[in-house]
Structure 1
Amino acid sequence: MANPISRIAPLPAVTAGLLATVVGVTSSAAIVFSAARAAGADDAVLASWMLALGVGMGLTCIGLSLRFRAPVVTAWSTPGAALLATGLDGMSLREATGAFLISAALITLSGVTGWFARIMDRVPLPLAAALLGGVLVQFGIGAFGSMEGDFALVFAMFATYLLGRWILPRYAVLAALTAGVAAAALEGQLRAVEFAWAAPVFTMPAFSWQAAIGVGVPLFIVTMASQNLPGVAVLRNDGYRVPVSPLIGWTGATNLVLAPFGAFGLNLAAITAAICTGPQAHPDPRRRYLAGVWAGVFYLVVGALGATVGSLLAALPAALILGIAGIGLLGTIGSSLTSALSDDRWREAAVVTFLATASGLKLLGIGSAFWGLLAGLLTALATGAFKKAGAFKAGAEQQRAPAPEDERAPEDRTAQRP
């Protein structure tokens, strides 16, 4: 008779869930911290953000993994947090909360109505990737710019990251953070960390067209294009044919409920999901859903200790936060630029999108993410990119045989175990 503990908590699945949580939090918590500060959050509100995000990720990981018997791992929107850190300047916390609700409502509608594929078809992937790259490049530049003020600390992190990429690529960012904390401790830059439980703080939303267009809509686009799309691809790559619309709908609905408490963006995970969908999570693909469940359990713990996490981030020097944020996003920046520039039909429009977004341009109270995407779309129209892409797609459709039944849209299929 099998050990009941090993059935519900097999060591590989628990380890994979813990690793996904640790990597997810340590690689991007600094960016969430920056976004909260940009919104004017104090320590109590920051703790509430961590609580709402932790609870949201925990419940969706557990619920969706059990429902579909697949390792469905969710995460906060790291690119979304990066967008907020640069796009909330001059906005109040109430306006920011209103933008969170708008983005969550759009994501929920996309899932409930099955609009996901159709909506994403309206935004060319190269332009969405360029938009993401333009938002994130500031963090990459900030990592190296911070060396001027604290060379020893940031260089130690970067050198450790490079060594980690060579020896243990999966743990490179975590190793860099460890090196940064050690260097800060040696320099006497660490402050005391206060252990405390998080408490929810409700923020009454306020809606403005500037926040909606400058933050809410770009947050929706970035989350869908750079998080949910690759998140689905990870599941598909490892053979999990779960229906897409319920996944998007439930993450959006959870986000909608928790947004007034600081859940700015919940979505399918990609990088951390891959930790739970592969053979390292469990030799039996049918049992890997437990890795998603355990990731959810650990995210609930992170949420409950949100005040401690916030205190820890506040205790770290600014150079360390800038450094780990930039290092943690190097891979995402690289993949964004690759996707943006790989198709020569969209290349010029993608470059314009990237430059306009990275410029930090702000007009009429609207941030550069919107203007970058608008500039890119206008450039695509002027250069005939849409026409070229349409002709290419039409030619491909003529040569393609009718799709077999198992290639129908994910929304039309029932969940299947791998």
Structure 2
Amino acid sequence: MDAHEAIVIGGGIGGLAAALALHRQGIPVTVHERASSLEPVGAGLALAPNALRSLDRLGVGERLRGLATPHPAIGLRHPSGRWLARTDTASFEAFFGDTIAAVARAEVIAALVDALPAGAVRTDSPAALVTPGSTTEPAVVRTPDGERSATLVVAADGIRSATRGLLFPRHPGPRYSGFTTWRTIVTPARRPEAVGEIWGRGRLVGAFLLADGRVYVYGAALTPARERAADGDEKAELLRRYGTWCAPVPQLLALAEPERVLRHDVWDLADPLPAYHRGRVALLGDAAHAMCPFQGQGACQAIEDAVVLASPLTPDTDPAATLPAYTAARLPRTTAIVTGSRRVGDLVALHTPATTFLRTTALTLAGLLPARTLLGRSAATYNWQPPALDATA
């Protein structure tokens, strides 16, 4: 077969991370994104230590750490403002050897794109898998320029992945989690002192500091699928749901620009796929393991995928031979995190006075445990170490 060329379908964080990982391994790669822009509006992202180590392999970790604003403490509160659990960031960093970097999604995308060769990312360029290929035949992808052959196709085409449907037509696909989410970025006159998450009856809201005085605000609540604010004003809907909660929530929401409030229902792949590859195609990120956002690991796991997928490849390696190992490495880990995220969602979903009282009591008691005990519960997720790429070996 001719020299290796990779095609990435989807220009989100996972697709761009995969493209950069492949580029660092010396493999020519093109990203096809159907949208006209890569700039997400109003969205933030928490990069946990496992993702930051992976971004170090891609050469952009320090850039993104430099954009993060230090938080004196992170924790969980009741809507009244009472702290249920709180951890200072110094203890977190000492335990895990790194921080959680809260940054705008646009900044992550810019860091990845800037590290790629000019012309590697094509917007307004929808691509679709025609055939997945085999050990002896290339995969074929239909692009605006016609059909193209590739020795590797990375399907990072999201939770509604057409590629996944083609590879595994009998899989039931994503299920509605019961939650909808809102996200926006605001710029208050004064930065809030209390940040983190607040849990109420069947809903939560969170706030994290970003660079340049901005604050990322997000909410999640139990709602029927596809329900939207009656007048289309999602800012008003946020104020209706959270306007009486403790400061700084009402003050931050009052600053939101209605047109910059994103609302999306949460669907996840509760049923694991049988594999994350077929032929010469690898599924990555939400296309492979869409998860609820309650552990903040969706994008982090996509970045991990990218490094694991690319690490065994060189210009002389046949990708078809390495894909079974990619599935073997990624499927058990991501399945466990999908399950864990759904379980946290089950706790958030509690909404009767009795069940929320019991949850608050349990969280308060847990908050009295030593910091090492609390942090240790996240060790399996955050302590993950990425394999080396040639550029970082």
Between structures 1 and 2, the one with greater strand share: 2
Report the TM-score range of the alignment, normalised by the length of the smaller protein: under 0.3
TM-score normalised over the length of structure 2: 0.22
Relative to the length of structure 1, the TM-score reads: 0.21
Q: Which has the higher contact order (CA 8 A, sep 6+)?
A: 1
